[in-house]
Amino acid sequence: MDTEQEKQTHPIEALMKTAMQAIKEMVDVNTVVGDAVETNDGTVIIPISQVACGFAAGGGEYETLSTSKSSALPFGGGSGAGVSVKPVGFLVVRMNDVRLISASGNQLAERLIDIIPQVLDKCDNMRARHTRKNSEEY
């Protein structure tokens, strides 16, 4: 039975299966491109990358001009794959803080967004102190 199945499978199936297995081994969602770096103060810096891959395969069977009439036609095929790795940024992990530092984009705007919660906390503290001071005076 195995030999009958092997005869019935087309060469393009084996070609595609081999290529897909190679791509699966090469690109995995759990793959980290680059090593995490730990600094002296305990901060861990992890590189973040965007990985994209593409795959194509094709083939055909062709008649030959020879006079022998065999049942199997000659097969011609090929496959190709491409992988792109683009750095996105770095994940910086400190004791009580996790930040994403982008490799592209507006660094100033991102820093302002990071600082806004701290500024709002300070404003709340100042308002609370001012309210307590006013209530003590009365």
Looking at the chain, list the stretches that DSSP marks H as alpha helix, in order from N- to C-terminal side: 2-8, 11-26, 107-137
Tens digit of pLDDT for each residue in 27-79?
A: 666 666 678 889 898 899 988 888 787 878 777 777 766 655 556 667 777 77
**Running DSSP on this structure, what letter comes out for residue 92?**
E
- For residue 21, give both structure tokens: 């297995």
Predicted model pTM: 0.46
Q: Among 11-20, 25-34, 85-94, 117-126, name the one with the lowest average pLDDT.
A: 25-34
Q: How does DSSP assign 76-91, residue by residue?
A: EEEEEEEEEEEEEEEE
CA distance 81 to 23: 8
Share of the chain above pLDDT 90, in %: 4
CA angle 48, 49, 51 (to 5 degrees): 150
The closest of 41, 126, 59, 54 to 84, measured between CA atoms, is: 54
